[in-house]
Chain A
Amino acid sequence: GEDVEQSLFLSVREGDSSVINCTYTDSSSTYLYWYKQEPGAGLQLLTYIFSNMDMKQDQRLTVLLNKKDKHLSLRIADTQTGDSAIYFCAETYSSNTGKLIFGQGTTLQVKP
C-alpha cells in the first residue's frame, strides 16, 4: 500500500546539522523527493533520488536512501534560521501518472 511516515517535529540550534527521517512502505517506489514548505507558501522542490541510488549530495543537502529498510533521510549541514519550515518527503511509483504520495511533514525549528 501507499504509506509514507515522518516524525512530526525537529528542533536544532543554528549551525548544527539537521537530519529529517522518512520511511515508506511500497517497494515499487521509483523516485523519492524532499520538498520544503514555508508558512503560507507553496512547496519548493529541494532534491530527489532514484531508488537505485544510495546517496545524493547537493551543497548543504545530503540524501541517504536505505532501500532494504525503506528509509530515507535528509541531512542539512550548517542549519540556518531560514531553514525553518515544514519538510515533506514524497514518493512516486513506476506508473506514469506522476502522482506524489506525501508524508505528514516534519516541522524543523531552528533556534538562534
Chain B
Amino acid sequence: DTEVTQTPKHLVMGMTNKKSLKCEQHMGHRAMYWYKQKAKKPPELMFVYSYEKLSINESVPSRFSPECPNSSLLNLHLHALQPEDSALYLCASSQGGSGTEAFFGQGTRLTVV
C-alpha cells in the first residue's frame, strides 16, 4: 500500500474562515511534507516533519499552520488566507532522508474567495 490520503479533495473558503487540510498515511513513513502547487507550475515545498517534529519551514506565512498529531497524520490549518493562496496543496510521505521514495496524495484544490 503506497497510498497517501488527503481530505477534502476540494475546498472553497472565505478570507475570514478557518479550515484544515488533512493527510494520512499508513506506510510507517517517518517524514511527511506539505507542498503547494500553482497552476502549470511545479510543487514548492512548504513544510517537512521528521519523526513528528517540524524540521523545515520554507518561510511560509503564519496564516498556514502545520500540525503532526502522530506519525500517520499531518494537518495544515488555514486562517485568514488571501485569494493568491488558491492552489493545489499536496501532502507527501517518505521514509525520510535523501534517496527515499516520496509518495504523494491526490491533493486538496483550495479556492480562497
Residues of A that sit less than 8 Å from B by CB: 30-31, 33, 35, 40-45, 48, 50, 88, 92-100, 102-105
Q: How many A-B residue pairs have CB under 8 A?
A: 70
Identify which of A41, A45, A50, A96 contacts B102 (C-beta below 8 A). A45
Chain B residue at smallest Cβ distance from A93: B98
Identify which of A48, A95, A105 contacts B101 (C-beta below 8 A). A48
Please indicate the chain A residues that have their CB under 8 angstroms from the CB of B41 in the complex. 104-105
Residues of B that sit less than 8 Å from A by CB: 4, 6, 31, 33, 40-43, 45, 48, 50, 55-56, 90, 92, 94, 96-107, 109
Please indicate the chain A residues that have their CB under 8 angstroms from the CB of B104 in the complex. 35, 42-45
Looking at A33, A92, A94, A99, which has the most chain B CB atoms within 10 Å of its CB?
Answer: A99
A98-B97 contact given A42-B104, A45-B102, CB 8 Å threshold: yes
Q: Do B98 and A92 have beta carbons less than 8 Å apart?
A: yes
Q: Nearest Cβ distance between residue B5 and chain A, in whole angstroms? A: 11
Q: Do A98 and B42 have beta carbons less than 8 Å apart?
A: no
Q: Do A102 and B42 have beta carbons less than 8 Å apart?
A: yes
